[in-house]
Structure 1
Amino acid sequence: MTNYNISSIDYPLHHSRLRKLGLIGGLSWHSTLEYYMYLNQTINDHFGNNTNPPLVVINLDQYYMHQLQRSDRWDIIAGMLIEACGQLYKAGASAAMFCANTPHKVYHDVQAQSRIPILHIGDATGAEIRKKGLRKVGFIGTIFTMEEPFIAKILKEKYDIDMMVPDKKKDRERLHTIIQKELSLGILKPETKEYILDQIVMLETMGAEGIILGCTEFPLIIGPNDIKIPIFNTTLLHAQMGVDFILDSDF
């Protein structure tokens, strides 16, 4: 049997300077794929060749995660994310990302027990909104991100941005169901897109200057050409934050 000495691999100098990033995905795998594609393509474009970034991906079970959410077992969800961060640390990752908005509900509990920093999707989104000079934005996402303050709070306290959501409970519940029962399964219906656009128009009439697609599945069905006001795609903004970390830019 041949012994291979992997410790002697001589990577190109530019690659050795890239920081390894850990992705906690599967929430859903469709949006995790968007993260993975964006990170690789943007690093390719940066170097002008097919240099790929050092990534470690952990794929969690979204079906189980949804069961835990419905049962309000966020303690178990936090434990799963803490375990995943530990696995990423052991694999050599210098930072981690939750590849979805909703897990950030337990961000502070997980970060407190993680040995590596976790890049927050709210920071990626808030910084871009401030860059555009906006102060009031609409937000659509899961029932948790719309009704609980863990995203709205970081936008307000760190970036002085007011966040509004659809005012009717039934609309928030339907958006949540669309995410879990359709988009996270890759089901993209024309009538679903029309309903989401109607909700965005309602937020615009309430004074929203831009719209946060606050679930990483929404960009699968809504694009920047679908509405007139600015769209903030949390998937791409968060992934760009990951690119900046890998390249050691702005960190």
Structure 2
Amino acid sequence: MRKLGLIGGTSWHSTIEYYRYINESVNAHFGDNTNPPLLVYTLNQSLVHRFQVESNWDGIAELLIETARSLEKAGAESVMFCANTPHKVYTTVEAEINIPIIHIADATSEAIKSKKVNKVCFLGTKYSMLEDFITQRIENQNIEVLVPQTNQIIEELHRIIQKELTYGTILPESKKYVISVIQNLVDSGAEGVVLGCTEFPLMIKEADLEIPIFNTTEIHAKAGVNFILKDLKK
């Protein structure tokens, strides 16, 4: 099996889901309790959020570069950012390390195409909704992406992520609000929803909606499993 490095902690709640899914999938592949060679590095989310507020993306890039290099030295053959927003500095980090980074948007695009969905809505942090470092990469695969159009909605979704979900708090009124935002985007033509924050799947489940849900946590983790097992599938 190939050795994979997970850069987590943003948040640790969703990082647990990555770790669980990858281990469960590898166990299932072998039909026993064989575990994959994972290296997990937990970032300080408080520091990352502070850098985001300060627009210090260079600082976030440096954190990720230092972390990726540590994992590379420990034997990782590839790494993953266990969240969507860090991919804003993907290109910067990629240029400074010697191992590949499995991109969350590439894995998500493949999942959308496999369902033959042509138009999706995307919910995430305000950084990933207002900027296109995730959505454009999906649109490059001939998939139309809708995002909320008002700052009020974008800010409220961001608040729910950072003030509730990253602490493991799921409030019924917030869940109702998120579902209403998704429904409005469905009314605008969305055929599926990309949960483009790895905390949203803690709140929104398949049974909550009538359209396909693209859980970026699970999709990205599956791409990690494919990397780990790639040499065994030849």
Q: TM-score, normalised by structure 2?
A: 0.98
Distance 1:113 1:181 in 2: 32
Alpha-carbon deviation of 1:68?
A: 0.3
Identity %: 53
2:21 to 17, 23, 38: 38
Match status 1:55 vs 2:38? yes
Aligned equivalent of 2:221: 239
Q: 2:7 maps to what in 1? A: 24
Q: Report deviation, 1:134.
A: 1.2
| TM superposition shift of 1:53 | 0.1
Distance in 2, Cα, partners of 1:105 & 1:241 = 19
Q: Distance in 1 between matches of 2:160 and 2:46?
A: 15
Which stretches in structure 1 are left out of the alignment for 5+ residues? Answer: 1-17
1:213 match: 195
Question: Residue 105 of structure 1 is aligned with which of 75, 80, 88?
Answer: 88
Structure 2 letter corresponding to 1:97: M
Q: Does residue 138 of the first structure (1) align with residue 84 of the second (2)?
A: no
The CA distance in 2 between the partners of 1:179 and 1:140, in whole Å, is 10
**Aligned pair count?**
233
The match for 2:153 is 171
Distance in structure 2 (CA, Å) of the matches to 1:144 and 1:163: 15
**1:74-89 aligned within 5 A:** 74-89=57-72
Runs of 4+ in 1 over 3 A off after TM superposition: none
Residue 122 of structure 2 aligns to a residue whose secondary structure is: strand
- After superposition, give the CA deviation of every residue in 1:150-170 in whole Å (9 maximum; x if it has no partner): 01111111x111111111110
How far residue 135 of structure 1 moved from its aligned partner, in angstroms, is 1.3
**Aligned with 2:143 (options 147, 161, 166):** 161
Is 2:210 aligned against 1:225?
no
Letter in 2 for 1:23: L
Separation in 1, partners of 2:86, 2:171 = 26
Letter in 2 for 1:146: M
Counterpart residue identity of residue 26, structure 2: I
The AA in structure 1 aligned to 2:45 is: Q
Aligned to 2:111: 128
User: Bigger shift: 109-118 or 235-244?
Assistant: 109-118
For residue 169 of structure 1, what is the amino acid of its counterpart?
A: N
- The structure with the larger Rg is 1
Structure 1 Cα separation of the partners of residues 216 and 124 of structure 2: 11
In structure 1, the partner of 2:185 is 203
Give me the whole-angstrom Cα distance separating, in 2, the residues matched to 1:91 and 1:39.
19
> Which residue identity is paired with 1:87?
S
Instruction: Find the residue that maps to 1:97 and give its secondary structure.
Output: strand
Q: Give SS of 1:247's match.
A: helix
TM-score by length of 1: 0.91
Paired AA for residue 164 in structure 1: L
Q: 2:175 aligns with which of 150, 174, 193?
A: 193
CA offsets 1:41-92 (integer angstroms, 9 cap, x no match): 1000100000000000000000110000010000000000000110010000
1:67 alignment partner in structure 2: 50
Q: For 1:147 and 1:81, locate their aligned partners in 2 and report how far apart those are by CA, in whole Å.
A: 22
| Matched AA of 1:75 | D
Match of 1:90 in 2: 73
